[in-house]
Structures are given as C-alpha cells and as structure tokens.
Amino acid sequence: MKNFTEMKRAGQRITALTAYDYPTARLLDESGIDIILVGDSVGMVVLGYEDTTRVTLPEMLHHTRAAARGVKRALLVADMPIHTYDSPEQAVASARELVGAGAQAVKLEGGASHARHIEAVVQAGISVMGHIGMLPQSVREEGGYRLKGRSQSEVEQLIQDGHAVEKAGAFAVVLEIVKSDAAKQITDAVGIPTIGIGSGEHCDGQILVTHDLIGLFPWFTPKFVSPAGRVADEIRRAATAFIERTQSGSPLSNGRNA
C-alpha cells in the first residue's frame, strides 16, 4: 500500500477508477492506476438498478472477488453497501467479509456521524477510505444528487466531517459533488488526501466511474465527466457487423466456446 499521505505532502496527484470484473481491473492495474474501487456504482452501470440503494453485500463480494483476481499492484478498495455498517460492530463484520473476498481496504459513506464506525474498522486492522459530500446511498432522502458546500455553514460542516474521518483513522476521503472552492478548503484543512469526484481540480486526487470515463454507459453521463472513449459505440459497431455477417452467410471468425 502506497503512503498516500506522503503523496499529498509531495503534491503527487492520486488516481483512482472503478472496476467490477477481472478484465477491467487487470487493464486498469496494468495501466498504473493507484487505486481501484469496486464501487457500489456497480448497481447502476452493471446491474441495472436505479441507484446504489439496492446493492447487497453478496453482490459486492461477488464483484470484489472478480476484480481482485486482476489486481497485482494497485490498492483494491471495496465499497460497503447500504445497511451493512449501521453499527460499528456490523461495520467490522462487513469489512472483514470484503477483505476476505480480496479487498485491501473498504470505503463507507458519512463523516462525523460515522466516525465510530470508521474507528472500529481501523482498530480491527482494516484500512478505511472515507466519503463525504454528496452521499449516493442517501440519494432518495436527498431527492437527487445535490451540490454540497454552497453555504458557509455547509463548508464548515464538511470540514468537521473531514477532520472526524481523519481522526477516526481513515487514510483518505472521497469528496463527491462538492463545490470547488469548498473542496479546496477541505483539502487544505485535513492531513489525509482528498479524492474528488465532481468536486473540481483542487483535491489531492480524482476518481471516476470507469464506465463514464470510457463511454460504456451511454444512457447517462454525469455533467462533470468528459468521456475519453466511446466503447458503447464500438460494441454496437461490432455487434452490427456480426449480425450482418451472420445473416449474409459470411464465414465467422473462430472464437471461444459460448
């Protein structure tokens, strides 16, 4: 595990992307990414759920095992799904299951409200990444994905959350959909790295859902993402070509058994 705090002090930006399967995890690992997150975003971009609130621990264990088989050098972090860390004791039990599936660290949502949960998991010998700002597991209560840090009181609360996560022992904290200047204040205030998603350029690192980055989920792309690829278009092109060759009676290339 890299010393991410040292990277923050040295001004080295931390890179993180999501993976939910063996080939994607292996490709990201071979590309030199610092952190691979088996995110509960798997619910939307792989499993077809409306949001992350239907993702279960067995589903996260399944995808963590798959991703872990492809990772040799990056830090593999697994999300703890909703209602798997309602108490510190449950958080420790769930974290142990994810580590047993191959994760090297876990991530859970919540700041000061979940400091005890983070502390319990860290004391159990498991590394924790925090997550503050917009909390996707609370999207139904929030009524959507809302920008955080728009008022000074919100900024002060986020800074308190960052300090609480740090004091509890987290090695880094994700800032999701936080106003850019607020994200800078949080980043300057805490000693652990901040990993931003939709939170501007001032964080110590950045994370994206890989499907958004490569254009593999074309039905919805967050406003803060500029896809670097169009994989969905390539899949459609290849599938269309296969259909046309098959229907015309052209010989097909040999492939692995279905």
**189-206 tens-digit pLDDT:** 999 999 999 999 999 999
1, pLDDT greater than 70: no
224, pLDDT greater than 70: yes
**pLDDT, tens digit, for every residue of 89-140?**
999 999 999 999 999 999 999 999 999 999 999 999 999 999 999 999 999 9
Selecting among 59, 97, 166, 176, the annotated active-site residue is 176
Two tokens, residue 57: 């621990």
Q: pTM for the complete prediction?
A: 0.94
Q: What is the DSSP letter of 158?
A: H
Count of beta carbons in the 10 Å neighbourhood of residue 218: 14
Mean residue pLDDT across the chain: 95
- Residue 6 designated active-site: no
Q: From residue 184, give the alpha-carbon distance in Å to each of 57, 155, 166, 169.
A: 33, 10, 16, 21
178, pLDDT greater than 80: yes
Q: Return the ∠ at Cα 137 (arms to 197 and 34), rounded to 5°.
A: 35
Two tokens, residue 39: 């995110």
